[in-house]
Amino acid sequence: AAEQFDTGALAGKTVFITAGPTREALDPVRYISNHSSGKMGYALAQAAVDAGARVRLISGPVNLAAPPRMDVVAVQSADDMLAASMKGIESCDIFIAAAAVADYRPVAVSEHKIKKGAEEVMELRLVKNPDIVASVAALPNKPFTVGFAAETQDLQTYARSKLERKNLDLIVANDVSQPGIGFNSDDNAVTLISRDSVLPLPQTSKRQLASQLIRQIADLYNRAQ
Ligand code: CTP
Ligand code: CA
pLDDT tens digits, 29-75: 999 999 999 999 999 999 999 999 999 999 999 999 999 999 999 99
pLDDT tens digits, 5-14: 456 999 999 9
How many beta carbons lie within 10 A of that of residue 218, not counting itself? 23
Q: How far is CA 64 from CA 106, 127, 147, 153, 174, in A?
A: 27, 29, 22, 30, 22
ipTM of the shown complex: 0.99
Ligand 1 centre to CA of 101 (Å) is 6
Contact 217, 94 (CB under 8 A): yes
- Ligand 1 atom nearest the C-alpha of 148 is 15
pLDDT tens digits, 127-153: 999 999 999 999 999 999 999 999 999
Q: Which of 148, 156, 157, 172 to mutate to test the pocket of ligand 1 (most atoms within 8 A of CB)?
A: 148
Residues 117-130: what's their mean pLDDT? 95
Pairing, β 126-128 against β 144-151: unpaired
Residue 3 pLDDT level (bands cut at 50, 70, 90):
very low
Q: Which pLDDT score, from 0 to 100, does residue 137 have?
A: 98
* Sign of the C-alpha dihedral computed for residues 147, 22, 66 and 136 taken in this order: positive
pTM of the model: 0.95
- Ligand 1 atom nearest the C-alpha of 150 is 20
Residues lining ligand 1, Cβ inside 6 A: 18, 78, 97, 99, 101, 103, 129, 131-133, 147-150, 162
- State the virtual CA torsion across 202, 205, 210, 212 in degrees, nearest 10: -40
Q: Which residue, by CA, sits nearest to atom 12 of ligand 1?
A: 148
Ligand 2 centre to CA of 181 (Å) is 18
Contact 101, 132 (CB under 8 A): yes
pLDDT tens digits, 149-183: 999 999 999 999 999 999 999 999 988 888 877 66
Q: Which pLDDT score, from 0 to 100, does residue 187 have?
A: 85
**Is pLDDT above 50 for 209?**
yes
